[in-house]
Chain A
Amino acid sequence: MIDYQNFINDKISSVKPSGIRKFFDIAVEMDNVISLSIGEPDFQTPWHIREAGIVSLERGKTWYSPNRGFIELRKAICDYYKRRFNVEYNPDSQVLVTVGGSEGIDLCLRSVVSEGDEVLIPQPAFVCYEPLTTMAGGRPVIIETRQENNFRLLPEEIEQAVTDKTKALVLPFPNNPTGAIMERGDLEKIAEVIIKHNLFVISDEIYGELTYGGKHHVSIAEIDGMKERTLVVSGFSKSYAMTGWRLGYVLGPKEIIDHITKLHQYGIMSSPTTAQYAAIEALKNGDNDVAMMRDDYDIRRRLIVGKLNEIGLTCFEPLGAFYTFPCIRSTGLSSDEFATRLVQEKRVAVVPGTAFGECGEGYVRISYAQSLKNIKTALKRIEEFVEELKSEG
């Protein structure tokens, strides 16, 4: 008998699989489940973008691209980022096209973090930062954001967590799962602390196009003195409904992008060629699609937030991404119990807040990347569920 444990890397062995799996397996087995658990747009990729991919295939463009991505795409990314977020990057040296934002995050962490370095990670947050930091040899240091601060990250929270080993901060805003955003004023205060302690920032801006209530996403790279110490990670999945194409990018100082590019080159070679052609079209002619989808999300967001508060699941107003993060403590259930019973008794799937860090206890994530019709039905079922819990006493 082989003892496989001997052959498994210690770090990967210590990484826990996403706890959501078992819960998801229950939901998949059931019929008539409305899923408000999904972290991807319900829209299909706009047709003209799909067509650009198809045309590239028809023309036989099926080879590797340059390691960094096609220069035409890198130029389009830089033009776009300057136009939308007012930060200028050099397409020759300061961009890397990656396989989704996820690869970008992994590469950034592995390129910045050395053995024993501490990485500050605000939670609740997307699930990958912690395990990827561990795999890079770093030590994740969790900062818990709070509902009373609208789940924003405060400078004093960073101050409290910084040690002489702290190397970097992951800045995941607009935030999955809370829907929180960071405004210019918030970022300026944080930038002071970051500069004072000579830290680096990995800014995950994958939801940067999806902000509401008249708020426009501000990148920390735009704040004075921050561009040279920030790696921006973004991509096409959420803004252009292109999740399956697997395409993202990293923007940052040449001195770091050069190293990140080596990792990408050895591990991936180059990002999918067809997807890159589609992405050029998205950046050049996709603004209207983004605006249309954002308007639709906004309508659903208002409906869900309003209804949840009415039902008694208090919900702070999310201003970004496509999630709401209502507090379910009033029901007396834990996040896990709430989500499990809701899917079993009412056939509505939501994600327990604890999937996004221990501090997500007492919350669930409800995605509004779902049709209005389904959202309406799901809200009705959630209302019944909460009413029945009350009468159980």
Chain B
Amino acid sequence: MDKLLEILRENSSFTTKELSLMLGEPEDYITAQIKEYEQTGVIKGYQAIIDFDKVPDAGVTAIIDLKVTPERETGFDSIATKIMSFEEVRTLYLMAGSYDFAVIVNGETMQDVASFVARKISCVDGVVATATHFMLKTYKLGGVSLVDEDSTDRRSMVL
């Protein structure tokens, strides 16, 4: 993968100047490259990596495995379009394996998520079965460790 994308994927806050130093390319080139990525939709946007365990009232997150019956004409895509339109849904993947969609949802409480599954997701045409898993703790997110590193590990000053 392009080095520029690799860097931005973990930390999009580097300035063009810094990126140009790091990659040994002129600033113009970096600017043009990023612009191209944005225009072609490779880069869709820029988000912060947030440790929600540290945010009060951040609510709960669940992953819902979904089995569906694909529709004759449109396969999985039209079902996906319906599911992703719910604002509770943060992330949606089509999967290979024992179920079809992985749906990541946010809710204020477990009851919220439960009722979302029962009243909304399950009622979408084609949905056959659901299995809801609640997330307890996030250790790593988007390539970044959320665990506070034990600073005593690397105290030795070796010359």
Interface on A for B, CB 8 Å cutoff? 18, 20, 24, 27-28, 35, 37-40, 42, 126-127, 176-177, 243, 295, 299-300, 302-303, 305-307, 351, 355-356, 372-373, 376
Known: A20-B159, A303-B21. 18 other contacts (CB 8 A): A18-B159, A20-B157, A27-B157, A28-B155, A38-B154, A39-B159, A40-B154, A40-B156, A42-B154, A127-B159, A177-B159, A300-B22, A302-B24, A303-B22, A351-B157, A351-B159, A355-B159, A372-B11
Q: How long is the Cα–Cα vector from A20 to B22 in the complex, in angstroms?
A: 30
Q: How long is the Cα–Cα vector from A40 to B24 in the complex, in angstroms?
A: 25
Which bucket holds chain B's interface residue count?
10 to 19
Interface on B for A, CB 8 Å cutoff? 3, 7, 10-11, 14, 18, 21-24, 154-159
Known interface pairs A38-B154, A376-B14; A302-B21 also in contact (CB < 8 Å): yes
For this complex, 24 residue pairs linking A to B, each with C-beta atoms less than 8 Å apart, are A20-B157, A27-B157, A35-B154, A38-B154, A38-B157, A38-B158, A39-B157, A40-B154, A40-B156, A42-B154, A176-B159, A299-B3, A299-B7, A299-B22, A299-B23, A300-B22, A302-B24, A306-B21, A307-B18, A351-B159, A355-B159, A372-B7, A373-B11, A376-B14
Can you name the residue of chain A whose Cβ is closest to the Cβ of B3? A299
Can you name the residue of chain A whose Cβ is closest to the Cβ of B158? A39
Q: How long is the Cα–Cα vector from A35 to B153 in the complex, in angstroms?
A: 13
Nearest CB in chain A: distance from B61 CB, A: 25
Q: How long is the Cα–Cα vector from A177 to B159 in the complex, in angstroms?
A: 8
Nearest CB in chain B: distance from A206 CB, A: 12
Contact B21 A24, beta carbon cutoff 8 Å: no
Picked from A40, A295, A372, A373, the residue with its CB within 8 Å of the CB of B158 is: A40
Known interface pairs A299-B7, A376-B18; A356-B23 also in contact (CB < 8 Å): no
Contact B14 A37, beta carbon cutoff 8 Å: no
Contact A37 B21, beta carbon cutoff 8 Å: no
Known interface pairs A40-B158, A126-B159; A302-B11 also in contact (CB < 8 Å): no
Can you name the residue of chain A whose Cβ is closest to the Cβ of B10? A372
Known interface pairs A299-B3, A373-B11, A376-B14; A243-B158 also in contact (CB < 8 Å): yes
Nearest CB in chain B: distance from A158 CB, A: 25
Known interface pairs A127-B159, A372-B11; A303-B154 also in contact (CB < 8 Å): no
Nearest CB in chain A: distance from B145 CB, A: 10
Complex interface: chain B residues within 8 A of A295 (CB): 3
Can you name the residue of chain B whose Cβ is closest to the Cβ of A305? B21
Picked from B18, B155, B157, the residue with its CB within 8 Å of the CB of A303 is: B18
Can you name the residue of chain B whose Cβ is closest to the Cβ of A304? B21
Among the interface residues B21, B24, B154, which one has the most CB atoms of the partner chain A within 10 A? B21
Nearest CB in chain B: distance from A364 CB, A: 13
Picked from A37, A306, A307, the residue with its CB within 8 Å of the CB of B157 is: A37
Complex interface: chain B residues within 8 A of A126 (CB): 159
Complex interface: chain B residues within 8 A of A305 (CB): 21
Can you name the residue of chain B whose Cβ is closest to the Cβ of A306? B21
Complex interface: chain B residues within 8 A of A307 (CB): 18, 21
Q: How long is the Cα–Cα vector from A356 to B159 in the complex, in angstroms?
A: 9
Nearest CB in chain A: distance from B58 CB, A: 23
Complex interface: chain A residues within 8 A of B11 (CB): 372-373
Can you name the residue of chain B whose Cβ is closest to the Cβ of A33? B151
Contact B22 A302, beta carbon cutoff 8 Å: yes
Q: How long is the Cα–Cα vector from A118 to B157 in the complex, in angstroms?
A: 30
Complex interface: chain B residues within 8 A of A351 (CB): 157, 159
Nearest CB in chain A: distance from B144 CB, A: 9
Complex interface: chain B residues within 8 A of A24 (CB): 157
Nearest CB in chain B: distance from A354 CB, A: 12
Among the interface residues A127, A243, A299, A356, which one has the most CB atoms of the partner chain B within 10 A? A299
Can you name the residue of chain A whose Cβ is closest to the Cβ of B19? A303
Q: How long is the Cα–Cα vector from A93 to B158 in the complex, in angstroms?
A: 32
Q: How long is the Cα–Cα vector from A44 to B157 in the complex, in angstroms?
A: 17
Can you name the residue of chain A whose Cβ is closest to the Cβ of B157? A24
Complex interface: chain B residues within 8 A of A38 (CB): 154, 157-158
Among the interface residues B10, B11, B23, B158, which one has the most CB atoms of the partner chain A within 10 A? B158
